[in-house]
Amino acid sequence: MWFRQWGPVTLDQPPQNTRARYNVCPTTTIDTIVERDAKRELVRMRWGLVPSWWSKPLKELKLATFNARAETVTTKPFFRSAFKRNRCLIPVSGYYEWQDTRGGKQPWYFTARDGSPALTVAGLWDEWHDKASGETLKSCTMIITEPNKFVAGVHDRMPVLLAEKDYEPWLSGAAGKELLKPAPDDLLQKWPVSKRVNSSRAADDDPTLIDRVAL
């Protein structure tokens, strides 16, 4: 799952300049929202979680950690500590999923049905210290769950999309796995887009990547 950023979430800090990106890939830097001392702030992180206990060089982390499955997020060693103490929100305008077809993988773009520019994905984050360089890296993961009926026609998973009322309990840790469920069937709309999205080398500032194409 790749996605398009950005969507607005209320912050307790001055506005920051952000640019629209239409092809955001794993291991790149993305915008997240964290809560500290009951205040929300934007923090840019690597998409692909590196747990604080990781002791090897980053290049040896071969596991794909950009998504965490809702069913196992509390038990998998890579995610369970972050689930307990480090929650985040990942605001997006939409996301891509790929459908297996006779002609290869066909990407579809999902966004809010009501035209709203904002979807908010439940995420986790952690902070890792690189012993070799001495640098500290903040990284995150998106939580994914089983699809609703609308998404199931294209893919067998979907991101956990939180309603505004769920932001605070998710960030504070007051809520748990009960929030990690499929979104309502009427939340999203979708359309097919160019297979150029299939390449991580496609320019991330190209708005035509989300244009509808004929199948």
Distance (Å, whole) CA 109 – CA 162: 19
Dist CA 16 CA 6 (whole Å): 12
| 6, 91 contact by CB (below 8 A) | yes
**Separation CA 123–CA 142 (nearest Å):** 5
Which pLDDT belongs to residue 19? Answer: 74
pLDDT at residue 15 tops 90 = no
Nearest partner of 107 among 188, 187, 198, judged by Cα? 198
When the pLDDT of each residue in the chain is averaged and rounded to a whole number, the result is 91
For residue 187, the 8-state DSSP code is S
- At 117 the pLDDT is 82
As a whole number, mean pLDDT of residues 30-55 equals 94
pLDDT in tens, 144-203: 999 999 999 999 999 999 999 999 999 999 999 999 999 999 999 999 999 999 887 888
**pLDDT for residue 111:** 96
* pLDDT tens figures, 108-124: 999 999 988 889 999 99
- Quick one: average pLDDT of 64-83? 97
Residue 6: what pLDDT?
47
Check: CB of residue 154 under 8 Å from CB of residue 99.
Answer: yes
Residue 17 has pLDDT above 70, yes or no: no
Task: Round to whole Å and give the CA distance between 73 and 118.
Answer: 25
> Of 4-8, 27-31, 45-49, 112-116, where does mean pLDDT reach its minimum?
4-8
Tens of pLDDT, residues 44-72: 999 999 999 999 999 999 999 999 999 99
- What is the reported pTM? 0.90
pLDDT at 37: 86
> In percent, how much of the chain has pLDDT > 70?
92
Q: Over 80: is that where the pLDDT of 100 sits?
A: yes
Rounded distance, CA 107 to CA 89, Å? Answer: 24
